[in-house]
Amino acid sequence: VSFGFADVARDDKASLVRGVFDRSARRYDLMNDLMSLGIHRVWKDMVMTRANPQPGEVHIDVAGGTGDLARSFLAKADAVAARRGDDRKATAIVLDINEQMLRAGVKRGLKPHEDGRIDWVTGNAECLPLPDRTAHCVTISTGIRNVTDRAAALKEMRRVLKPGGRFLCLEFTRPTSRAWEKAYDAWSFNVMPELGHYVAKDRESYQYLVESIRRFPNQDDFADELRAAGFRRVSYTNFSGGIAALHVGWA
């Protein structure tokens, strides 16, 4: 396990985001479960199915928090390796701006098969402390919404992909039907900040998270942002009626 370079937050938004996750890092997984009624686990599993991890591949999970996706990537790559009798081991880099999130992930412990195969790196998605063409697969799950300069981060994630590599981005988005949007707004504006208050003792931070979801571009506009960053064959899939969407692009 290694911690890489320490980032300096570049502006207020970055500091606020860092604060939000600093305060709630330890309760973060529990909050995720409560806020999405456990559905985020299903979404993440769908992301990894689309990521299609292979033996020997390098995975980078940007804004990777406690490392859920990286662990899943290794497990799925190992299952493929076992089926094929391939002994190449996949490896992963979990990068996050907040060291506390990474530490919470490390503290959770590594399963024997994960040992030595995950690097934990503190860094900013807008300026990744990683060489060009490092990874076969780059993911970012409910993280791009918090990044100040989204265009810079998308270009960086494109830069660290090997030619032909894949990029998958899971993010909270807007429901696609009016009725569903109304119900979702009621949930997110009334219930989520209350959950933040009672579970993480931090109503304001969760209010901020709800607002950041509202401000995020719609699925088509975000797909255009991926194209502008140089990704090819961009597509997206809505999850749970558009509460979240998975955008996929290729280097």
Interacting residues with ligand SAM (CB under 6 A): 17, 21, 63-65, 68, 96-98, 101, 124-126, 141-143, 146-147
Q: Is 141 annotated for ligand binding? A: yes
The least distance separating ligand SAM from the CB of residue 191, rounded to whole angstroms, comes to: 18
96 known ligand binder: yes
Strands 161-172 and 91-96: unpaired
CA distance 143 to 63: 5
SS3 96: strand
Q: How far apart are the first and last CA of the chain?
A: 28
The whole-angstrom separation of Cα 110 and Cα 101 is 15
**Cβ-closest position to ligand SAM:** 65
In whole angstroms, the minimum distance from the beta carbon of 232 to ligand SAM comes to 24
- Residue placing its CB nearer to ligand SAM in the complex, 77 or 102: 102
Rounded to a whole number of angstroms, the minimum distance from the CB of residue 12 to ligand SAM is 13
Pairing of strands 135-141, 161-172: parallel
Amino acid in position 158 = R
Minimum CB distance to ligand SAM smaller for 101 or for 154: 101
CB of 125 to ligand SAM, least distance (A): 4
Of the pair 55, 156, the CB lying nearest ligand SAM is at: 156
If the CB atoms of residues 75 and 86 are measured against ligand SAM, the closer one turns out to be 75
**124 appears as a binding residue in the annotation:** yes
The Cα diameter of the chain in Å comes to 52
Residue-wise over 9-18: b if at least 16 C-beta within 10 A, else e? beeeebebbb
Of the two residues 57 and 96, which places its CB atom closer to ligand SAM in the complex?
Answer: 96
- CB neighbours of 111 closer than 8 A, spacing ≥ 6? 71
CB of 41 to ligand SAM, least distance (A): 10
- Helix (DSSP H) and strand (DSSP E) numbers for the chain: 10, 7
Torsions phi, psi for 65 (to 5 deg): 55, -125
Q: Which residues are annotated as a binding site for S-adenosyl-L-methionine?
A: 66, 96, 124-125, 141
Q: Which residues are annotated as a binding site?
A: 66, 96, 124-125, 141
